[in-house]
């Protein structure tokens, strides 16, 4: 592996089943494959990078996630093309997923930034951007 490449990301979630259902189809659309599964977690892998989702313990569920607090703001992934962004946007809408910045979509990131922004079940912002 090349120095500096991202090895993995691990996210604690409030409902593992909902997160696995939500992230599973999306990550597979991007070329990830199922990597690891255990009672309290699940991961998907693409090349040398993997993304892990772990069920948060009940005692830590009293404060919900918010992207404006200190910590993770969002995860951004490359799409294959603008057409791919459009296809995923339609799929997200069909699943009832909250699309962010609808009034500026697909240029919410600027005139040359073609992307869709949306939220996962814990309201973690996700971005899919055309190269």
Query: What is the spatial distance between Cα 129 and Cα 117, in angstroms, rounded to a whole number?
Result: 9
Query: Is 1-59's fold the same as 73-131's?
Result: yes
Task: Assign domain 1-59 to its CATH superfamily.
Answer: 2,3-Dihydroxybiphenyl 1,2-Dioxygenase, domain 1 (3.10.180.10)
Ordered by start, the domain boundaries in the chain are 1-59, 73-131
Task: Assign domain 73-131 to its CATH superfamily.
Answer: 2,3-Dihydroxybiphenyl 1,2-Dioxygenase, domain 1 (3.10.180.10)
Name the pTM for this structure: 0.92
Instruction: State residue 81's pLDDT score.
Output: 96
> What confidence tens digit (pLDDT) does each residue in 98-120 have?
999 999 999 998 888 999 999 99
Query: What is the spatial distance between Cα 124 and Cα 64, in angstroms, rounded to a whole number?
Result: 11
Instruction: State residue 2's pLDDT score.
Output: 77
> What confidence tens digit (pLDDT) does each residue in 37-90 have?
999 999 999 999 999 999 999 999 999 899 998 899 999 999 999 999 999 999
Segment 66-75 long-range contacts (CB within 8 Å, at least 24 positions apart) = 66/123, 67/123, 67/124, 67/125, 72/11, 72/124, 73/125, 74/117, 74/124, 74/125, 74/126, 74/127, 75/9, 75/124, 75/125, 75/126, 75/127
């Amino acid at each position: 592996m090349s120095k500096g490449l991202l090895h993995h990301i691990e996210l604690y979630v409030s409902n593992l089943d909902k997160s696995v259902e939500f992230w599973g189809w999306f990550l597979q659309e991007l070329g990830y494959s199922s990597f690891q599964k255990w009672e309290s977690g699940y991961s998907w892998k693409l090349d040398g990078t993997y993304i892990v989702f772990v069920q948060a313990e009940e005692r830590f569920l009293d404060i919900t996630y918010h992207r404006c607090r200190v910590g993770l703001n969002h995860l951004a992934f490359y799409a294959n093309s603008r057409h791919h962004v459009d296809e995923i946007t339609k799929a997200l809408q069909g699943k009832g997923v909250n699309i962010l910045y609808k009034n500026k979509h697909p240029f919410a990131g600027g005139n040359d930034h073609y992307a869709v922004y949306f939220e996962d079940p814990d309201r973690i912002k996700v971005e899919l951007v055309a190269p």
